[in-house]
Amino acid sequence: MRSETEIRKFMERLDKLTGFIADFGDDDEFEKDEITYACDASDTLSWLLGEISTEAFEGEDYLRVAIMQQIAEEIEKRTGKKLQDYQ
């Protein structure tokens, strides 16, 4: 398991890189998949460290779990398969 110190240093590095690209790069540079992934990883690490609440992390600004639940319900109706039975 990584130490909190190591995780925080890594987050600082990611935040510095993504911030620099956001502030000084163009739209094409900022919209690259690597930047999106780095921002998502940083958000996840923030959640793991308790900087983002679970409620917020599941919400509209991050994972949008409610939307995924709606998609699962649509699949249940369409296929007859049940999420609760999925392993």
**Same structural domain, 36 and 77:** no
Q: Per the structure, how many domains does the chain have? A: 2
Q: Which pLDDT belongs to residue 67?
A: 98
**Same structural domain, 59 and 41:** no
- Residue 78: pLDDT band with limits 50, 70, 90: very high
Mean pLDDT of the 27-31 span: 95
Q: Which pLDDT belongs to residue 18?
A: 96
For the chain, what's the residue count?
Answer: 87
Question: What single letter denotes the amino acid at residue 39?
Answer: C
Single pTM value for the model? 0.82
**Same structural domain, 46 and 71:** no
Classify the C-alpha dihedral 54-56-60-62 as positive or negative.
negative
Digit-coded pLDDT (tens) for 43-71: 999 999 999 999 999 999 999 999 999 99
**Same structural domain, 13 and 31:** yes
Mean pLDDT, the chain, as a whole number?
97
Domain that residue 70 falls in:
53-87
**Same structural domain, 45 and 14:** yes
Mean pLDDT of the 5-31 span: 96
